[in-house]
């Protein structure tokens, strides 16, 4: 996925591109940042898809996580 950051600032439109051949699902992560950013909550992205979003409050930084990666890691840990 591009960008490969785990947080973004609200300084303009953001385009997220799934270019790594794996499915992804983003969610705002209030545990990393005090404010959640529901604009970053997405459906599942298939490889090659892209998503454009504008952060509603341009004066904040939004953390986000990839739920599918976390679920995949948790599943691998349980199967060990």
Express each pLDDT in 10-35 by its tens digit.
777 888 888 888 898 888 876 655 55
List the one residue out of 49, 45, 37, 40 whose CA is nearest residue 14: 40
List the one residue out of 6, 12, 5 whose CA is nearest residue 55: 12
Domain limits, the chain = 7-78
Listed in order, strand segments (DSSP E) in the chain are 7-9, 13-17, 26-28, 50-54, 61-66
The verdict on pTM exceeding 0.95 is no
Question: For position 35, what pLDDT does the model report?
Answer: 58
Instruction: Please state, in angstroms and rounded to a whole number, the distance separating the CA atoms of residues 35 and 52.
Output: 20
Report in angstroms the alpha-carbon separations of 46 from 1, 25, 53. 11, 9, 17
């Amino acid at each position: 996925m591009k960008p490969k950051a785990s947080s973004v600032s609200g300084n303009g439109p953001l385009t997220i591109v799934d270019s790594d051949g794996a499915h992804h699902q983003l969610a705002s992560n209030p545990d990393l940042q005090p404010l959640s950013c529901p604009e970053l909550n997405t459906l599942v992205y298939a490889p090659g898809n892209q998503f454009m979003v504008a952060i509603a409050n341009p004066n904040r930084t939004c953390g986000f996580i990839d739920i599918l990666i976390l679920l995949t890691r948790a599943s691998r840990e349980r199967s060990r």
